[in-house]
Amino acid sequence: MRERWLQRLHRAEDLLLAILLGSLLLLSVAQIALRMFFDSGLDWAEPVSRAGVLWLALLGALGATRARKHIAIDALPRVLPPAVQRVAWVLSHLSAAVITGMLAWLGAGMVGLEQEAPVPFVAGIPSWLPMLVFPAGFGLMALRFLLVAMTPPPPGTIEEGGA
């Protein structure tokens, strides 16, 4: 049952990333076409595109964290004995959880500051709304790193019988 819900969540994340990427591409192509053929454009396209790229980057990083395809330095753990490798696995993921948790906290602070002196992002949307990606994205990454730290390393990560 839990696995089915996780698969649904992962499909929803992938779908959200695909929709976001497709929307950004469509918006960019529309903006180019409007400028080339009609000497005009959409005033809101540039700020929305910039915010969309930010959302795409952080949600993509969240997906990379889910698939354990994020940047990791794993040269040292490979030469350690298996017991120490397990400790290094837990410490590295807990460290990543703390760092991304701090980034989420700082992102929430940025959103709070932006709410104190809001400026319009685009018509009717306050500037703090697109910034919610910072606390949300980094907070979810912290949660993922924390959950991974509590699980055993995948097969092949730790060499059984010595380094």
Residue 28 has pLDDT above 90, yes or no: yes
Q: Which residues contact 156 (CB under 8 A, 6 or more apart)?
A: none
- Rounded CA gap, 117 and 134, in Å? 18
- φ/ψ of residue 105, rounded to 5: -65, -45
- Rounded CA gap, 106 and 33, in Å? 39
Model's pTM, two decimal places?
0.82
19, 17, 42: which is closest to 29 by C-alpha? 42
Q: Which residues contact 135 (CB under 8 A, 6 or more apart)?
A: 104, 105, 107, 108, 111
> What pLDDT was estimated at residue 105?
98
4, 10, 7: which is closest to 65 by C-alpha? 10
Tracing tokens 């990791």 back to the chain, one arrives at 72
For residue 132, give the H/E element and its range.
none
Domain boundaries, the chain: 2-149
What pLDDT digit, counting tens, does each position of 60-83 carry? 998 888 877 776 666 666 777 877
pLDDT bucket at 44, cuts 50 / 70 / 90:
very high
pLDDT bucket at 160, cuts 50 / 70 / 90:
very low
> What pLDDT was estimated at residue 155?
62
